[in-house]
Amino acid sequence: MEPIQSTGRGSSGNPVANLDGSREQAGGTTILTELQQTVMPALLLFLVLTFVTGVVYPLAVTVVAQLAFSSAANGSLIGDPQHHIGSELVGQSFTEPRYFWGRPSATTPAYNGLGGSGSNLATTNPALMDAVKDRIARLHAVDPDNAAKIPVDLVTTSASGLDPQISPTAAQYQAGRIARERGLPLEQVTKLIAQHTQMPTFGFLGQPRVDVLRLNLSLDALK
């Protein structure tokens, strides 16, 4: 590959003519007329490229998306079309002891689909400490005999406020409580967690995780 040559081969058909043409324009016209000569191409090119990138491109993506990945393109909804019970990608709020709890959510109300938000509390903010202490107290209140350390994802808010998942460690921490509340053998709950544990994609992308909504739905399905 040769470098762009001094004659401006890059984007010009006939460099000599261009050079002369440009010089004539620069010499024979004022700045004002030069501006006028530039306004129309600027406006028209802007409009044409707006059409290409703002209409043709998103519509083309939409057509392919709706044809090839119809469920994914429409929010990955679960449940029958008349009665959707959620999206498999968006977390829901669970506060009853008989369900696995997800990440604390900073949105109002919790897991507000149209109002995703993090807490944006700094590590040094006393309000963060108060919130974490409160969450620890709530977890202990529904599971007083559990002496294990609480996994960090159960007491910290997610970035989106809609995090659908918890770590397998956080699910396992709650297994005893679920088994007791539902009168199930602990092994069955542990097995269910294992079934719903997704390992990193290709073995290394992302983190191991458990989808809280799916896990709770399959808990309900056990009966």
Partner 1 sequence: MNTYAAIEIAVFFVILLALVKPLGLYMARVYQGTPCGLNQVLLPVERLIYRLSGVRPDSEMTWQRYAVAMLLFNLFGLLAVYGIQRAQGLLPLNPQHLGAVSPDLALNTAVSFASNTNWQAYSGESTLSYLSQMLGLTVQNFLSAATGMAVLVAFIRGLTRQKVAEIGNFWVDVTRSTLYILLPLSFVLAIALVSQGVVQSFGPAIDVTTVTASTDAEGKPIQTQQIPQGPAASQIAIKQLGTNGGGFFGVNSAHPLENPTPLSNFLQVLAILLVPAALCYTFGDLVGDTRQGWTLLASMLLVFVPLLALGLWAESVGNPRLADLGVDANASLLQSGGNLEGKEVRFGVGASVLWSAATTAASNGSVNAMHDSFTPLGGLVPMLLMQLGEVIFGGVGSGLYGLLIFAIVAVFIAGLMVGRTPEYLGKKIEAFEMKMAALVILIPPTIVLAGTALAVSFDAGRAAVTNPGPHGFSQILYALSSAGNNNGSAFAGLGVNNVFYNSLLAIAMFGSRFWLIIPVLAIAGSLARKKQVPISAGTLPTHTPLFVVLLAGIVVLVGALTFVPALALGPIAEHMQLLSNSAP
Residues in 107-146 that interact with partner 1 by CB under 8 A: 108-126, 128-129, 132-133, 136
Q: Does 222 bind partner 1 (CB under 8 A)?
A: no
Q: Does 36 bind partner 1 (CB under 8 A)?
A: no
CA 223/CA 116 separation, integer angstroms: 33
Tell me, residue by residue from 37 to 56, as one string, x for binding to partner 1 by CB under 8 A and - for no binding. Answer: -xxxxxxxxxxxxx-xxxx-
CA 171/CA 215 separation, integer angstroms: 9
Tell me the CB-side half-sphere exposure of residue 149, using CA atoms within 13 A.
4
What tokens appear for 209 in the block?
């995780």
User: Which of 196, 161, 190 has the alpha carbon at shortest distance from 174?
Assistant: 190
Which of 175, 192, 213, 215 is the binder for partner 1 (CB under 8 A)?
213
Q: Does 61 bind partner 1 (CB under 8 A)?
A: yes
Which of 65, 142, 179, 184 is the binder for partner 1 (CB under 8 A)?
65
Contact 99, 166 (CB under 8 A): no
Q: Provide, rounded to whole angstroms, the least separation between the CB of residue 24 and partner 1.
A: 11
Q: Does 160 bind partner 1 (CB under 8 A)?
A: yes
Q: How many of the chain's residues bind partner 1 (CB under 8 A)?
A: 134
Q: Does 33 bind partner 1 (CB under 8 A)?
A: no
Q: Does 166 bind partner 1 (CB under 8 A)?
A: yes
Q: Provide, rounded to whole angstroms, the least separation between the CB of residue 81 and partner 1.
A: 10
Q: Provide, rounded to whole angstroms, the least separation between the CB of residue 14 and partner 1.
A: 7
Residue 96 CB coordination number (10 Å): 9
41 contact partners, CB below 8 Å, separation of at least 6:
none
Q: How far is CA 181 from CA 109, 164, 170, 185, in A?
A: 26, 22, 17, 11
Contact 79, 129 (CB under 8 A): no
Tell me, residue by residue from 183 to 202, as one string, x for binding to partner 1 by CB under 8 A and - for no binding. Answer: -----------------xx-
Which of 77, 142, 179, 184 is the binder for partner 1 (CB under 8 A)?
77
Contact 211, 164 (CB under 8 A): yes
Q: Provide, rounded to whole angstroms, the least separation between the CB of residue 149 and partner 1.
A: 4
